[in-house]
Chains A and B, each alone.
Chain A
Amino acid sequence: MYSFLFKYIIIGDTGVGKSCLLLQFTDKRFQPVHDLTIGVEFGARMITIDNKAIKLQIWDTAGQESFRSITRSYYRGSAGALLVYDITRRDTFNHLTCWLKDARSYANSNMTIILIGNKSDMESKRAVSYEEGRQFADENGLIFLETSAKTASNVEEAFVNTASKIYEKIQKGDFDINNESFGIKLGAPTSKQDGTDQKPAGGGCCK
């Protein structure tokens, strides 16, 4: 079935495009017409790294930005985190420090965090420059990418790069792969191969 299962969490302020990123990655579609933000509970997709089948399971925290204690329940058991801000809203960039503090405090120390500046297609309304994002990522030891859930720019790379980073750490022996609390799970080698990948029914994405 799969060699590894990596669990991701997508965090960030409300309205930055967390659900849209998830929907674009799992279903390769964008729904700007209905502007719905609900319905995406889980996202799951299979990718291949070094000829190994890796299943990515992604949790969406939409609607929980005001409830920090509830959101912290997601950090435990996550191998990777997508820290998302909106390049057209500076306040979402200014709040990254708080999100990062929470992630570092409540997740395991080896969690891989990637910084994502979403809505890169809205260049005319840009409020945070690429250099600022790059600098913040470098100062905090994060991977950095600018994406657009609408045009699918760098969306694939965001998830795959994080998975590659996690896979490197596994190869180095940084993770105890038998302990599922790190968000990594070994696939059973004797399980039957199933070609179909079950996808959740998504209802829409954010505005």
Chain B
Amino acid sequence: MIFLFKTSNKYFYLLGVGGSCFLGFVFLYFLKKSYNNKNNKFIESDNNNKNNFEKEEKEMSQQLIEIRKKINDYSKLKYPTKQGILFKKSRYLKEWRNRFFVIEEDILYYFDIEKGNNSNKPIGTPLGIFNLLNCSFTLITNEKRSPLVFKIQEENGTNKDYKNCLISCESAEEFNQWFQLLPQIKQTMDRKKDLVIKLQALSRKKLQQKKYQQLKESALTIQRFYHLYEGERKLARFIFNVIKVQSYARCFIDRMRYKKIKEEIMVIQSHFQVIKAKNRLEKEFMRRRIAQELLSTEKSYVYNLKLIIDIFIRPLINFNSIEQRVLSVSEISGVFGNWERLYKINSDLLVLIQCKLDNWSIDQTIGDLFIENTDSLFEYTPYVTNYDHSRKLLAKLTSGNTNFRNFLDAAQRDKRSKYLDISSFLIQPIQRLPRYELLLRDLLKSTSTLHKDHKYLSKGIVKIKEITMYVNDQQKERENLSQVIQIQKELIMDNIKLSFSSATRLIREGEIKVSKKKTWNYMYLFNSQLVIIQKKDDKKLVKEVIQLEQLGIRDDNSSSSNTITNDSGTDLLNNSSNNLLLLSSTISSPDLSSSGTNAINTSSQALPIGTIGNKFKLIISSKTEISLYFDTPEEKNNWFADIAITLNRLETQKKNFEKSINLQTIN
């Protein structure tokens, strides 16, 4: 026991010296570390210190548990403040045992001592751990073992018995060291804590000042920026407002303008619609009226045709006995022609027209009727060509036949005839036929081009015109034939051969002289020959007959000599402009073939330049020429033009005839 005590004294002495040296370093190190940790915690944590401390206590208790698990060996404690072997009284057996006590920072550990050997080393995990900051140290004087005993007790523990222990030492010096050190550690830790708190407060203050400074600068910057922004904002707002107002104004103006234009457009459109509708209505009204006119005139015409049959034709035919007969059958047909046939034709036409107008509508057509049903109108030809004969026969019968004249007077008093005489009725077919074209042409003007009837009416007009022109041409042929026959009867031919054919046409007749000194003679221009006669005692003696095939004419009075002959094959168009002017003006005048006895030919034509005088020459052969003298230059020009045209026509016919002969030869 003494050896052990001596060895223990040395050990404790070394530990005391080392402990007092290390204490300062550990303190500084701990302080620095704690400062850093606290500083970090302060920056991260809130300003509520109470909550912070409570959390710290909980954390420390947990830390003790973790430390105990972690430090399972004495070698893990690296920086002990003080360590040594002390006697500890057990809790249940009440025995004093040796334990190895170590202080590191603010925690007291005690370990079990290895028993076998005398090395005095701690082994195993710590048997107990005390947080010195939470403990109190009291001196115990009533202990039996020795007066050197103190008690360590946790203040905040719920179970006091568990967290307290009695510690005793061998020597008083050692006891004093341990008993003084433990409270010092606590005080040191408390002082450190206060220092940390102060440092934290100081740091907080400085940080606050810094933040305040930064905040102030930021505020100034913000204020400056705010002022600038405010100015700009006001300007922007002003500009925005201006633009907005302008936009509103422009929108308003545009809307007003658009409204005005739209109103104008609507007015124009309404006017257009009204005009269009009115035009359409007027056109349709006119169209219907003309169609109605066609019907009413046809009805009136057919009525008159029937009237003639009832008043004149049937009574004349139906006389019972031969003695009472006023006219013969041939005389009746001579006067009235094919009147009953015309009545049949137009009665059928009237039925068709009536049917069209009974079913009248906007889409009704009437031109198709005239395309398909008017071929029978060709039968007007015999009536028209017979009209002249009818008129003469009627005059003869009226003057010579007393019974017929009385019959006519009685018939005229019939009220149905409206006091018109028979000639007024006989002229009506002559009147009616050309009227169809006039009616249809007016109807075409009132028909829209989109209407179906427009095409039909165009074709109908063409057809009606063909029929009427055919009738007109037949009448013209009839007149010409009568004229030629009349002339043929009047002429007296001695030794001169003169022949007429059915194709002979009279073109012109008039007075001429074959020389200046001789008396006036008379000349006929036919389409194939020229006949000069001499009038003597109301007789017409044929003096000379000139065939036009070999004839040429020359006008010596022109400024330039113009010779037109068939032998040379000269075309009229190749001659000078004088004749062209004359020919063109003559050709444009209608109806060249008409001429009459004692006709006064006053011409409004402009005379060609250079054409003067009243004579020209007939070139019969290379040796024979005849000069013809006329009354006036106009007369001469007319004769010259007619002869030239006739020669040209003969030349054309001759060429066509030769061409046809050649074709036959080739075939």
Tell whether, in the assembled complex, residue B428 and residue A140 are in contact, meaning their CB atoms are under 8 Å apart: no
Interface string of A174-207 (1 = CB under 8 A from B): 0000111100010010010010001011011000
Closest chain-A Cβ to B483's Cβ sits at a distance in Å of 10
Nearest chain B residue, comparing its CB with the CB of A183: B423
Q: Are A178 and B427 in contact, with the CB atoms below 8 A? A: no
Give bound CA distance, A44 to B433, whole Å.
22
Nearest-CB residue, chain B, relative to A62: B438
Q: Known A62-B438, A179-B399, A185-B421; judge A69-B476 contact (CB<8 A).
A: yes
B437 x A63 contact (CB < 8 A) = yes
Query: Given contacts A34-B286, A38-B439, A178-B399, are A67 and B434 in contact (CB under 8 A)?
Result: yes
Write the chain B residue with the least CB distance to A2.
B419
- Closest residue of A by beta carbon distance from B480: A69
A176 CA to B297 CA in the complex, in Å?
A: 36
C-alpha gap A66/B428 in the complex (Å): 18
Secondary structure at chain B's binding surface: helix, strand, loop or mixed? helix
User: Chain B residues near A95 (CB, 8 Å)?
Assistant: 590
Contact across chains for B590 and A39 when beta carbons are under 8 A apart: no
Interface residues on B, range: 35 or more
Bound-state Cα–Cα, A36 to B286, Å: 9
User: Which of B388, B418, B419, B434 sits near A63, CB closer than 8 Å?
Assistant: B434
B600 A140 Cβ-Cβ under 8 A: yes
A73 CA to B426 CA, complexed, in Å: 11
Q: How far is A179 from B397 in the complex, measured between Cα atoms in Å?
A: 11
Which of B142-150, B318-326, B601-609 lies at the interface with chain A? B601-609
Pair A180/B424 contact, Cβ less than 8 Å: no
Given contacts A203-B297, A204-B293, contact A98 B384 (CB under 8 A): no
- Residue from the list A35, A63, A73, A191 in contact with B438, Cβ < 8 A: A63
Q: Provide the bound-state CA to CA distance between A39 and B418, in Å.
A: 16
Asked if B409 CB lies within 8 Å of chain A CBs, one says yes
Determine if A97 and B603 form an interchain contact, defined as CB atoms under 8 angstroms apart.
yes
* Contact pick for A37, options B419, B438, B469, B601, CB 8 Å: B438
Q: Give chain A residues whose Cβ lies under 8 Å from the Cβ of B300.
A: 41, 201
Chain B residues whose CB sits within 8 angstroms of the CB of A36 once the complex forms: 289-290, 293, 442
- B113 shortest CB reach to chain A, Å: 151
In Å, the complex CA distance between A37 and B437 comes to 12
Number of interface residues of A (CB under 8 A): 53
Contacts of B468 in A (CB 8 A): 67, 70
Residues in chain B near residue A66, CB distance under 8 A: 434, 469
Q: Any chain B CB within 8 A of the CB of A57?
A: yes
**Alpha-carbon separation in the docked complex, A181 to B421 (Å):** 13
Do A73 and B409 touch across chains, with their CB atoms under 8 A apart?
no
Q: How far is the CA of A26 from the CA of B439 in the complex (A)?
A: 22
* A73:B424 contact, CB within 8 angstroms: no
Q: Which of B396-435 contact A (CB under 8 A)?
A: 398-399, 409, 413, 418-421, 423-424, 427-428, 430-431, 433-435
Bound Cα distance A103, B83 (Å): 172
Check if A203 sits within 8 Å of B399, measured CB to CB.
no
Task: Judge if A169 is at the interface, Cβ distance under 8 Å.
Answer: no
- Asked whether, in the complex, the Cβ of B398 is within 8 Å of the Cβ of A98, the reply is no
Report chain A residues within 8 Å CB of B424: 42, 57
Whether B601 and A101, one on each chain, are in contact in the complex, defined by CB atoms closer than 8 angstroms, is yes
Within the complex, the shortest CB–CB distance from A11 to chain B, in Å, comes to 13
Given contacts A36-B290, A38-B439, contact A181 B395 (CB under 8 A): yes
B430 touches A41 (CB 8 A): no
Q: Which of B124-139 contact A (CB under 8 A)?
A: none
A105 near B421 with CB under 8 A, answer no
Considering the chains assembled together, what is the distance between the CA atoms of A201 and B471 in angstroms? 28
Residues in B whose Cβ lies below 8 Å from that of A48: none
Which residues 88-112 of A have a CB within 8 angstroms of B? Answer: 94-95, 97-98, 101-102, 104-106, 109
A–B Cβ pairs within 8 angstroms, 11 of them? A5-B421, A37-B438, A38-B293, A38-B294, A63-B438, A69-B479, A70-B468, A73-B387, A101-B591, A203-B293, A203-B297
Q: Which residues of A contact B (CB under 8 A)?
A: 1, 5, 34-39, 41-42, 44, 57, 59-64, 66-70, 72-74, 76-77, 94-95, 97-98, 101-102, 104-106, 109, 139-140, 178-181, 185, 188, 191, 194, 198, 200-201, 203-204
